[in-house]
Amino acid sequence: MSVDVKAEIVVDRPRSAVAELMFDPKSDTIWNTTITKSFPQTPGRLRQGSKTEHVGVFAGRAYSAIREVTHDEPEKSLDMAVNEPFEMKVRYELSDAPKGTNVSIRIQSVGEILYQMPPAVLSKKVHETLVEDLKRLKRHLELNGD
């Protein structure tokens, strides 16, 4: 079973403001619907080599995950390896848009996935979660001006 999903949204804020929130592991619980606790293992914004422990729930299953940044371009992109709720590669990508910042997140599974659901159902659940995460991110940044 494999997952490869991507979601995008335009946030009416400059790329630097979006990066400030998205690339700060202390802000993960503000916009990520599956994360209930975030414990940065390295100080500051996410960059290559940064690690964060996440505690959360996905598809009804509790998890504790380690996220490690494998590549970064400041205020543009982050590539991460995550071990739970299934082993995956995650990419955050920010680009300038006419009315703010285009934000995309892509999740690709790595290896075997042990969820007891058909691959299409799991992929749909991951996509729905990403869409909700991006809506929360947009709402927070546009309403709070953070």
**Mean pLDDT for the stretch of residues 11-36:** 96
pTM above threshold 0.85? yes
CA distance 103 to 97: 9
For residue 57, the SS3 value is strand
Q: Which tokens sit at 12?
A: 């009416």
pLDDT tens per residue across span 73-93: 999 999 999 998 888 999 999
- Percentage of the chain exceeding pLDDT 90: 79
| Structural domain total, the chain | 1
CA distance 36 to 75: 25
Q: Identify the domain containing residue 60 by its residue range.
A: 4-144
Decide if pLDDT at 1 tops 60: no
Quote the strand ranges of the chain, DSSP E.
4-11, 35-40, 51-58, 61-73, 77-82, 88-97, 100-109
CATH code of the domain in which 33 resides? 3.30.530.20
**Mean pLDDT for the stretch of residues 116-126:** 85
Give residue 145's pLDDT: 65
Give residue 42's pLDDT: 93
